[in-house]
Each structure stands twice: as C-alpha cells, then as structure tokens.
C-alpha cells in the first residue's frame, strides 16, 4: 500500500475517533456561528490537539479537551497540558488534513516558540482566558518544580517538518538548554495518532491474581511457577473477565462440545479425580509479582501471584467448563483443583508465540488457529473498528458478529480469495475452505494477507460475496441440471467473476457508494456470469463434464474465467440457458434423503465444528423479531455440530442438543414471537462458520452424487 493511501487511511481512522470521542468535550462557542465548511476543520483541528494531549499524557478524552486553547489569542499554541507526576509541561500545536497531507512550516514553528517565550516571561495576559490560566500554572511548575517542557507537533500527515521549521526548534533548544536539559521537541505524525486511536479501542491489559498451592518455582530463562489452584478461583477469573482471558490464545473456547460436557461431568460427579484427568492450564504474562506467606519457609504455604498483562494460552476449554460446573453446582465442583503454570515472558513476543503454539499441539488444532497469531489479523480488526465500526472475529470459537455488525476471519478470507484477480483461489475454495490457511509460496493465505488489505477492501468484498450468494439463491427456482449444480458448487467462482466485472477499481475508495454502484448490480451480473460460465464449460469441457470436478481444477477455472470476463465485459448478448437447464414443472422425483441423517452418515461435518445462526433464507419478519433477542446474548447465535441423527446441534445458550428445526422453534418461543410460522426449515438457518448452511452443504453433496450416477 502506498504512503499516500496509508496517510488517507490514518486520517479516516483518526477523524472517526475525533468525532466520536473528543468533539463533544470541546469549547466551540467562538466558532458556532460559522458555516459548516469553515467550522468543521477548526473543530477537527481542536479535537486533534486533544488527541495529541492524550497521546503524550494519558489524559481522558474529556480532560484532554480541557487543555485546548486554540482560538483568538492562543499565541501559536493549540493546547497546554500539564502533568504533576512526573512534573512536565506540554505545549501543543496541531495541523489537520482530511487527506493526511498536513505539514508544519517555519512560521508555525516560530509561533510555537513565541508562545513558550511568553510563558517563560510570565506574560500570561497575552493569552485568551483558558490559555492564561494554563500558562500561569505551567510557569509555576517550570519555576518551582523545575518541570521540563516539550513542544509537541501533531501533524495529520506523513512528511517531516521542513528544514526551516526544524532549525527554528533547534535554535530554541539551544537557547533554553544552556543551563541543563529543559526543552525537547516531539513529533506525532499520522501513523502515531492512528496508533493511539487503535490503542484506545483495545481492551486494557489484564492483571490476574493467582492463589497457588503445592507449588514450585522455575528460575530459568523465564521465571515461572507451577502448582494447583482451586477451580472456584478459576471460575471467578472467567466470571470477571470472560473471553479477555484468552486474548493471546490461538482460539477462543469452542463453546458447547462433548469434551467440555465431559469436563463438567467429572467436576460435578467426581471432583477429587479432576486433577488426574485434566492437562491443566498455561498462563502467560509479562511479569510475575509473588507474595509469599512465609519469607523464611515460602514453600510451606500458598503463594499469591499477580500475573501482569496475563492471558491463558492453553486450557481455554477447561476454564469455560469449570465456570459452567461452578454455576451448576458450586458445592460439588468447588472441591476440585486444577494444575496451573504461570510463565513470565518479559514481553518477548516471539517466546510467547512459541509457547502458545507448542502447548496447543496436544489438542486438535487447525491451521486457521495458528493464523490467528498473525499480527496482520489484529491490525485488520483494529482498522475495521476504527474506520467502519465493524467487528472482526479472528479466533475459532469466537462468536461470529451479526451480519450487519461485521464478519469473521473465515468469511473475510473467502471474500478476499474471490476478489483476487487470480481465479485459482476461488477455485480452491470449491474443494475446501481449509485451503485458505495454507502458508508459503504456493499457499493462499500469504497471497491474501501478505500486503495488509484495507478495511474497505475487506468489508466490501464480504458484502459482495454475500450479495452474490443471495442472488443465486433468489433465482434458484429457475434452474436445474448442470446450471443448478453450477450455482451450488460454483458460488465462489461466480462471486470472483462478478467482483472482477463490478468491483475492483473503487473498492478501497471511501467516498464510493458501494451499495448503489456495485451491490445493486450484483443480481443481474451474477446471473449473467452463471449463464456465460455454463456456456463456456459446455463448449470447452463438454456437456458431460462433471461440474464439481471442473470447478476444482484451478487451471481449467482460470481459462474459463478469462473467457467469461472477455465476453461478459462486452455488449454481447447473455447466452440463453438451454432447455435442459431451465426448470419446468415435472413429476416429483424421489424425495432426497433428510438433511441431518444424510450429513451424519456421510461424515460431512467434523464433530465439534462451530455453527452460527444466520438468516439468509429466513423472512424479513423473522429477522426483525429476533434481532434484539439475539443481540442480548451472543451465545444465542452459537452452536456446535454433534454427529447425532436426531439432535445434532448443541446450543451454546443452554448446552442442550436439538434438531435444527426444534432449536429454531425454541428460539422463536424464547424470543416471544407471537405470530411465528407453524413450520421452519432449520437446516437453512444454521451455517458452518465461514461456510455453507447445513441445507446448502447437503444439497451440494447430493447433487455431486447424482451427477456421478448419471455419468
């Protein structure tokens, strides 16, 4: 990504934060009567000054805004911030630019130094009312407590100040530092200010209290303690901190699973055996503060540890199962103990990553889990939150956001694969979404994420793929045979071609009206792409070529994609589907096998696979009735697949197994939907995380079998 694009991205992120967090606290009475075109940049510049104050002092947004003096008689200073512990004076000037091109010239630097000189000479009455009060307090601190001062230049741009401005600051440093260090200069550029915005969106570091018995200490390269901890203490961690406990883990707890159910059963029925049956918990932290019951004989009693900036990197399932058991019967489960290791990494990120990976190899870990440790994923999450106010779930086991609120890493990766100009990546998706996580020269993951995609690119790609899938579903009643199979197997390839035709040039432009310019054109384009694609498959591969096998051949798909883009990009008429591909009323065929027994028999879904409630096939009324009820508890959208022919869905909200339709009825009942339909197709409402609904998966597999039988 170019420096110019980076600067624009930083400016967008900062602008959103200024409007959301700072502008409400500013005194703007002197500019209230101005027109919007003149008022907005002044208010934004003042808010930027407040953000700069927060960046150098740690003040709250409200207290930082109180330091802003920008306006008439500000004497070249936009803000004066004072800290007392340690004593320090910050004199701030900010320059805003919507495009990230702000610069500081020689005159602005001179004005800042004039403001410093007036404070040093105690000419406080030269400032406006707020500036006079703050300048006097700054002078007192500088004289009585020998507080140093820093000139802070906050630029919404990436260019360094020019030589004229730099020389002005150097002359001032020479003047004020003759008798010892007093004056310094600090530059905050666009990236620094955006980093502060992202840091403010991140959760605060977690310090965890650990009471450990029968412990021993290891004084190797990294200080560590190992011992046993009461499970009721573990439950209190989860009750107080939730998923923040696992922020360094490769995945969040996977919700309701048979394994977790077994842990709960042991705790409730045989708590004394729990320590023997469980592998324990590994907790990483920056540093450990230990308090011994006895200094002369510390091993004789408990040790109280404070784990600074802590995270559980192995044992997430154990923690959540313990919390569930304590909630069910604290009297029984509370007698158990669990083994815990606490390791201090001293902030060494590479060591923390190695420990996280190594300790998770004993459990079933998928390639996606290790991808969650990639720094670029955290940066994408921060960008989506800062620029678009969207959620981005990275770890397997974390609940997918509501569709309107964001997306998961799995959905984003699939969408970016479709956006990529090489059709081979969307072809690979027809085989398995697991291919998204392959690393290395030939792997898809590094191609998609090596250069960090922007927030707009990620979100708009996701929206477009969703729109293509919805369009294909909407027109499904018009197709049959190979055309229907193409829509089932080739949704990602069709999405790729649709995006190449509609959405490449402006996808990263913030001002683009994506809904009007792209999404509204998706249905017509997607159906035209399908017609062109089946036309070229028949012509190139023959009308007997099996659709699924053809789409899984990356080289063949790349060739077909070139032909479709060549023809669909012209004014040529869209091919008319031949009669064999158009659905007409016919005698009913033998009924297809029921979805759930079919999927279980075919072993199509791995035990423990995460499912999410989604509404692509529900009515608009259903979505309206359930939206607030679902939002009240994220677990209501979560479930786990169990290979059970009758009740394959283990619902996270109550840890009970249901049939797909039975669970939907229960959800409608709990949501108090009084005018609910009599029947529902539950398999269309539960989706494999980042993939198809249960119904779509069964239909695709059954269609593939039919095609093979007819060959």
Q: Under a CB-based contact definition with an 8 Å cutoff, are residues 417 and 423 in contact?
A: no
Does residue 609 fall inside a structural domain?
Answer: yes
Does residue 588 fall inside a structural domain?
Answer: no
Does residue 589 fall inside a structural domain?
Answer: no
At 480, give phi and psi (nearest 5°). -155, 180
pLDDT of residue 401: 82
Residues 391 and 360 grouped into a single domain: no
For the record, the structure tokens of 114 come out as 């004039």
Q: Tell which residue, 73, 77, 30, 71, has the closest CA to residue 52.
A: 77
Please tell me what DSSP assigns to residue 9: H
Does residue 472 fall inside a structural domain?
Answer: yes
Does residue 25 fall inside a structural domain?
Answer: yes
Residues 62 and 185 grouped into a single domain: yes
**CATH number reported for the structural domain that contains residue 172 in this entry:** 3.40.91
The length of the chain in residues reads: 711
Q: How far apart are CA 429 and CA 412, in angstroms?
A: 13
Inter-helix orientation angle 455-474/491-502, to 10°:
120
Residues 216 and 258 grouped into a single domain: yes
Q: How far apart are CA 120 and CA 248, in angstroms?
A: 48
Q: How far apart are CA 533 and CA 498, in angstroms?
A: 11
pLDDT of residue 362: 47
pLDDT of residue 691: 76
For the record, the structure tokens of 539 come out as 């012509």
Per the structure, the count of domains in the chain is 4
User: Which domain does 47 fall in, by range?
Assistant: 3-200
Q: Under a CB-based contact definition with an 8 Å cutoff, are residues 112 and 119 in contact?
A: no
Name the domain boundary from 365, 388, 420. 365
What is the longest distance spanned by two Cα atoms in the chain? 99
Q: Under a CB-based contact definition with an 8 Å cutoff, are residues 90 and 53 in contact?
A: yes
Name the domain boundary from 165, 200, 235. 200
At 695, give phi and psi (nearest 5°). -65, -45
> What is the mean pLDDT of each successive set of 10 residues along the chain, which is 711 residues long?
75 91 92 89 94 94 95 94 93 94 92 95 94 94 91 93 92 92 94 90 83 85 88 89 73 56 79 83 90 68 88 84 85 86 81 66 60 82 89 78 87 93 90 80 84 92 94 87 88 94 83 89 93 92 86 90 89 84 68 83 88 70 78 87 91 89 90 78 84 86 68 50
Residues 401 and 274 grouped into a single domain: no
Residues 59 and 191 grouped into a single domain: yes
Does residue 370 fall inside a structural domain?
Answer: no
Q: Give 702's Cβ-side CA count (13 Å radius).
A: 18
Cα 185 to its chain centre, rounded Å, is 35
Residues 443 and 543 grouped into a single domain: yes
User: Which string of b and e fits 586-619 if b means at least 16 CB within 10 Å?
Assistant: eeeeeeeeebbebbbeeebbeebbbbbbbbebbe
CB-CB neighbours of 68 under 10 Å? 31
Does residue 590 fall inside a structural domain?
Answer: no
Residues 548 and 465 grouped into a single domain: yes
Residues 119 and 227 grouped into a single domain: no
Residues 77 and 96 grouped into a single domain: yes
Residues 572 and 653 grouped into a single domain: no
For the record, the structure tokens of 328 come out as 């069910």
Residues 39 and 157 grouped into a single domain: yes
Please tell me what DSSP assigns to residue 405: T
Sign of the torsion formed by the C-alpha atoms of 44, 46, 49 and 53: negative
Does residue 470 fall inside a structural domain?
Answer: yes
3-state secondary structure of 453: coil
For the record, the structure tokens of 229 come out as 């901890």
Name the domain boundary from 339, 365, 391. 365
Residues 235 and 181 grouped into a single domain: no
Cα-based torsion angle of the residue sequence 65, 67, 73, 76 in order, rounded to the nearest 10 degrees? -100
């Amino acid at each position: 990504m170019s420096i110019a694009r980076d600067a624009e991205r930083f400016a967008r992120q900062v602008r959103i934060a200024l409007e959301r967090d700072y502008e409400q606290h500013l005194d703007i009475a002197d500019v209230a009567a101005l027109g919007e075109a003149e008022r907005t940049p002044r208010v934004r510049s003042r808010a930027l000054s407040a953000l700069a104050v927060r960046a150098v002092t740690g003040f709250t947004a409200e207290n930082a805004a109180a330091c802003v003096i920008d306006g008439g008689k500000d004497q070249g200073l936009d803000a004066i911030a004072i800290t007392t512990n340690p004593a320090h004076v910050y004199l701030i000037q900010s320059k805003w630019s919507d495009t990230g091109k702000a610069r500081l010239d020689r005159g602005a630097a001179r004005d800042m130094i004039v403001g410093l000189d007036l404070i040093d000479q105690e000419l406080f009455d030269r400032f406006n009312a707020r500036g006079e009060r703050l300048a006097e307090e700054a002078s007192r601190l500088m004289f009585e407590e020998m507080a140093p001062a820093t000139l802070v230049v906050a630029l919404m741009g990436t260019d360094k100040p020019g030589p004229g401005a730099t020389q002005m600051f150097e002359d001032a440093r020479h003047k004020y530092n003759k008798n010892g260090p007093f004056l310094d200069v600090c530059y905050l550029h666009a990236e620094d200010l955006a980093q502060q915005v992202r840091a403010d969106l991140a959760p605060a570091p977690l310090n965890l209290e650990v009471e450990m018995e029968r412990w021993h200490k290891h004084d190797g390269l990294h200080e560590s303690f190992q011992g046993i901890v009461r499970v009721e203490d573990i439950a209190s961690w989860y009750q107080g901190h939730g998923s923040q406990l696992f922020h360094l883990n490769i995945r969040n707890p996977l919700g309701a699973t048979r394994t977790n159910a077994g842990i709960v059963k042991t705790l409730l029925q045989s708590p004394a055996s729990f320590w023997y049956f469980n592998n324990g918990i590994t907790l990483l932290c920056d540093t450990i503060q230990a308090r011994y019951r006895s200094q002369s004989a510390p091993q004789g009693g408990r040790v109280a540890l404070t784990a600074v900036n802590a995270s559980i990197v192995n044992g997430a399932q154990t923690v959540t199962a313990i919390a569930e058991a304590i909630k069910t019967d604290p009297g029984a489960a509370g007698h158990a103990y669990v083994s815990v290791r606490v390791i201090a990494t001293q902030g060494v990120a590479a060591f923390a990553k190695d420990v996280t990976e190594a300790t998770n190899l004993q459990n079933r870990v998928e390639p996606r889990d290790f991808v969650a440790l990639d720094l670029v994923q955290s940066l994408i999450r921060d960008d989506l939150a800062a620029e678009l106010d969207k959620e981005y779930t990275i770890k397997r086991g974390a609940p997918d956001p509501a569709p309107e609120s964001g997306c998961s890493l799995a959905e984003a990766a699939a969408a970016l694969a479709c956006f990529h100009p090489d059709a081979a990546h969307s072809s690979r998706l027809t085989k398995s979404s697991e291919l998204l996580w392959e690393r290395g020269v030939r792997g898809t993951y590094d191609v998609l994420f090596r250069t960090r995609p922007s927030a707009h690119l990620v979100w708009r790609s996701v929206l477009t793929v969703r729109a293509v899938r919805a369009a294909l579903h909407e027109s499904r009643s018009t197709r049959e045979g190979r055309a229907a199979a193409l829509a089932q197997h080739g949704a990602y390839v069709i999405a790729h071609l649709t995006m190449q035709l509609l959405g490449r040039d402006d996808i990263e432009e913030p001002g683009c009206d994506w809904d009007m310019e792209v999404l509204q054109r998706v249905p017509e384009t997607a159906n035209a792409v399908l017609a062109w694609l089946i036309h070229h498959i028949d012509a190139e591969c023959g009308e007997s070529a099996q659709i699924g096998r053809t789409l899984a051949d990356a080289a063949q798909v790349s060739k077909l994609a070139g032909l479709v883009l060549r023809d669909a990009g012209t004014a040529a008429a869209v091919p008319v589907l031949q009669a064999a591909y158009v659905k007409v009323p016919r005698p009913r065929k033998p009924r297809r096998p029921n979805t759930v027994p079919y999927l279980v028999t075919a072993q199509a879904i791995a035990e423990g696979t995460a499912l999410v409630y989604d509404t692509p096939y529900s009515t608009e009324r259903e979505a309206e009735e359930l939206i607030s009820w679902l939002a009240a508890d994220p677990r209501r959208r979560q479930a786990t697949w169990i290979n059970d022919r009758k009740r394959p869905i283990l619902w996270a909200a109550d840890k009970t197994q249901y049939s797909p339709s039975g669970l939907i009825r229960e959800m409608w009942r709990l949501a108090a939907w009084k005018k609910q339909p009599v029947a529902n197709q539950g398999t269309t409402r539960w989706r494999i995380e980042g993939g198809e609904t249960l119904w779509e998966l069964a239909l695709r597999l059954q269609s593939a079998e039919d095609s093979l039988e007819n060959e």
